[in-house]
Structure 1
């Protein structure tokens, strides 16, 4: 996973003081977003709305949400809903499905193929991990948040 920039507050927290980071470089504070949770869009599916209600309180306690996160958070929640729906389909119908067709001459054929929900669940799971990482919702990104965003690794030395 690509490393993302640490927020200014974390750089200052681990810095040398006087507005500098751990390497003595001046820290730009960046924009001062209001740290309030966005309102859930009314068009969220039921499963996505439930996920929104589950994750927003915890993210709000961490003071990392802002109103501008609404679109990405909604995309995360809808991706979760797609993952759940596809997983339920695989549980109900299996990993493979049987297809039937009848030709014009009346000949019937039957074949087994992968349930399309398998691919949908896999793609949604991959997307879900990417979205979740932005909010610290995976074990590794949670650890990186608690360690100041570096994942415990030293910053790369440019020399």
Structure 2
């Protein structure tokens, strides 16, 4: 069988395609046109959900500025970003519990039948870490996700502005 729509690499969103310098040299009309797949959402920042815990809200505030600078967050990304922030808060909570219980049973517990197993705190921390890693990769929040894309700063303005023209006239 030759494959199906799930075969091969995932399609790159138009915004990331443009950030990477349009490596396939697709015309802008095809990337940003009305019929283009992966339409680019408005670049307004999403609001922090009120249901997040305090540590999750703190993580939201910590990362939202950097995500805005990278240009890969929009209002439609609110839920995915909330998943990342809450997973981070959960992971932090479980890691603090492990640190507190490290002398007793931070990493390993003994079952009633006498077997050793990974502690419940550690299992929950690992699950939260997996959720955090998965959701964070959507925003380029780990080295391998950033390596998959060229997160260069935007190229700059295409046409001169009045301020630049004035500067060039007087300081050239």
Please show how residues 103-118 of structure 1 align to structure 2 within 5 Å: 114-118=118-122
User: TM-score, with normalisation over the residues of structure 1?
Assistant: 0.71
User: TM-score, with normalisation over the residues of structure 2?
Assistant: 0.66
Structure with the higher fraction of residues in strand conformation: 1
Corresponding position of 2:133: 129
Please show how residues 97-108 of structure 1 align to structure 2 within 5 Å: 97=109
Corresponding position of 1:63: 71
* Structure 1: gaps (5+ residues): 21-25, 101-108, 149-159
Aligned length: 134
Structure with the higher fraction of residues in helix conformation: 2
* Structure 2: gaps (5+ residues): 1-7, 153-172
RMSD, matched Cα: 2.8
Please show how residues 135-146 of structure 1 align to structure 2 within 5 Å: 135-146=139-150
Corresponding position of 1:31: 39
Q: Deviations over 1:16-66 (max 9, x none)?
A: 35448xxxxx54364241111100012211110111011110111111111
Change (3 A) 1:14 1:113: closer
Change (3 A) 1:16 1:69: closer
Pair 1:15-2:24 in alignment: yes
